[in-house]
């Protein structure tokens, strides 16, 4: 199997630092906001402001990536988050903290969208799943260990984690700037690079539609409901303490890591859909059952199962996105929509599920989350395979997959693209289903 290029290792290392730093400030941010004598709602609004700004600025980031290139936008995003985080450390009022943290969301969406674009262009096609697995695992490991370090840093003062995170981002920016000097698509020798692909063109692809749905599910279930609603279910419905809620989240993360470490390699070997479909099925069943757990022991078991399901499909749909957009000039709107789908799920999921839990209980609330995952499952059932299974010395492709690859969509109307990116079509590889 081909070795992972050095430039990708640079990105993966920076990703771990970013995830660690996000965890550094997670324990401190709401408490720091409360020091300005504001309500609990206002304190949590500081957390939400980051996600809202990510969501709002994603379309503009897509255009910036198209115009200025992935590397430049990636570095700019890192520097914006570093500056905003350092500013948070010296905020003197609640409104200053809110604004500074919100500005960090702009930088965050800049480096996350451009990082995905860089991985798409730099990852060889035969190891995209493995690269996506390492990317997801690095973020997850950083997210797990970061809060532990952050909790220790809080002991030196609530402002200290922000300073440490800002310095870490500056170090990561320096490493990327010096070690990632050019972006080379390793598979360009395999064929000509396709023309710009944007949102409307990508949306004609059944695989891309399924990718958006599963990424929305990832944001809704894993980044939204898991963090905001599951702890409430453990403490309010099952009567356990906050410490047990943390253990449940850690168990979920452990299941995630176990699955992520193998999902990427398996999807490179057997194709994306054979890994995506079981992962979504497991997620649907475990999530629905979780809401009806009779005790903490059952909740723990279902959490690790749900973590395995999420770990199977999260890196796999990232690899599928690289299959859809790979070896082409990157249309920023298609990548922006991918990032927005996850952010939209993370922002709306906890609010909607929390509302349902208030009105009719946690059981129906988790059923709703399972339904969201089930919709993604249906779209993946009818989606084309983007990476046929490898048999012998090369890939095997079914007649359906072959016809899907050669199908030619009609020319899109660039002005009708809701994300505003100009588009042209690479006719020999577009899919229409």
Average pLDDT, rounded, for the chain: 79
pLDDT band at residue 196 under the 50/70/90 scheme: low
185, pLDDT greater than 80:
no
395, pLDDT greater than 70:
no
More confident residue, 346 or 408: 346
More confident residue, 207 or 396: 207
Instruction: Write down the pLDDT at residue 412.
Output: 39
- Per-residue pLDDT of 75-86, as tens digits, reads 999 999 999 999
Instruction: Write down the pLDDT at residue 428.
Output: 35
- Residue identified by tokens 């609603």 is 229
How far is Cα 386 from Cα 49, in angstroms, rounded to an integer?
36
Contacts of 358 (CB under 8 A, 6+ apart): none
Torsion 30-34-40-41 (CA) sign: negative
- Per-residue pLDDT of 247-271, as tens digits, reads 887 788 888 888 988 888 888 889 8
Nearest residue to 60 (alpha-carbon basis) of 103, 110, 102: 110
- Per-residue pLDDT of 366-379, as tens digits, reads 999 999 999 999 99
Asked if 137 contacts 10 with a C-beta cutoff of 8 angstroms, the reply is: no
For the chain, which domains are there?
Answer: 1-191 (1.20.1250.20), 192-433 (1.20.1250.20)
- Residue identified by tokens 């990427």 is 264
Instruction: Write down the pLDDT at residue 413.
Output: 38
pLDDT band at residue 103 under the 50/70/90 scheme: very high
As given in the structure block, the two tokens for residue 402 are 């072959």
Contacts of 316 (CB under 8 A, 6+ apart): 129, 132, 263, 264, 267, 272, 275, 276, 279
């Amino acid at each position: 199997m081909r070795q992972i290029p050095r430039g990708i290792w640079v990105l993966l290392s920076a990703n771990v630092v970013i995830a660690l730093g996000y965890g550094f400030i997670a324990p401190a941010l709401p408490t720091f906001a409360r020091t300005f004598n504001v309500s609990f709602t206002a304190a949590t609004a500081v957390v939400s402001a980051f996600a809202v700004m990510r969501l709002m600025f994603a379309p503009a980031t897509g255009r910036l990536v198209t115009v200025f290139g992935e590397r430049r936008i990636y570095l700019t995003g890192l520097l914006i988050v570093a500056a905003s985080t350092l500013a948070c450390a010296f905020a003197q009022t609640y409104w200053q903290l809110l604004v500074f943290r919100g500005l960090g969301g702009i930088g965050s969406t800049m480096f996350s969208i451009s990082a995905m674009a860089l991985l798409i262009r730099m990852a060889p096609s035969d190891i995209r799943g493995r690269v996506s697995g390492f990317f997801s695992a690095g973020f997850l490991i950083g997210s797990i260990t970061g809060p532990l370090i952050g909790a220790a840093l809080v002991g030196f003062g609530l402002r200290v984690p922000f300073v440490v995170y800002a310095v870490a981002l500056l170090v990561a920016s320096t490493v990327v700037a010096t070690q990632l000097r050019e972006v080379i698509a390793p598979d360009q020798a395999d064929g000509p690079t396709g023309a710009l692909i944007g949102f409307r063109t990508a949306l004609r692809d059944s695989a891309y539609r399924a990718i958006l749905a599963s990424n929305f599910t990832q944001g809704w279930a894993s980044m939204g409901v898991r963090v905001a609603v599951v702890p409430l279910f453990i403490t309010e419905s099952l009567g356990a303490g906050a410490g047990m809620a943390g253990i449940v989240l850690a168990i979920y993360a452990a299941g995630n890591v176990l699955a992520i470490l193998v999902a990427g390699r398996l999807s490179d070997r057997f194709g994306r859909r054979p890994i995506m479909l079981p992962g979504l099925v497991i997620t649907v069943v475990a999530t629905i059952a979780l809401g009806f757990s009779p005790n903490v022991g059952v909740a723990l078991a279902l959490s690790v199962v749900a973590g395995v399901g999420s770990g199977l499909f999260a890196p796999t749909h990232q690899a599928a996105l690289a299959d859809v957009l790979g070896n082409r000039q990157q249309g920023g709107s298609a990548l922006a929509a991918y990032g927005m789908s996850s952010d939209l799920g993370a922002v709306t999921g906890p609010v909607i599920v929390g509302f349902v839990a208030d009105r009719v209980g946690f059981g129906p609330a988790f059923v709703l989350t399972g339904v969201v995952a089930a919709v993604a499952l249906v779209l993946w059932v009818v989606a084309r395979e983007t990476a046929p299974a490898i048999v012998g010395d090369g890939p095997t492709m079914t007649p359906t997959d072959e016809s899907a690859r050669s199908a030619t969509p009609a020319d899109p109307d660039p002005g009708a693209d809701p994300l505003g990116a100009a588009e042209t079509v690479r006719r020999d590889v577009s899919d229409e289903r």
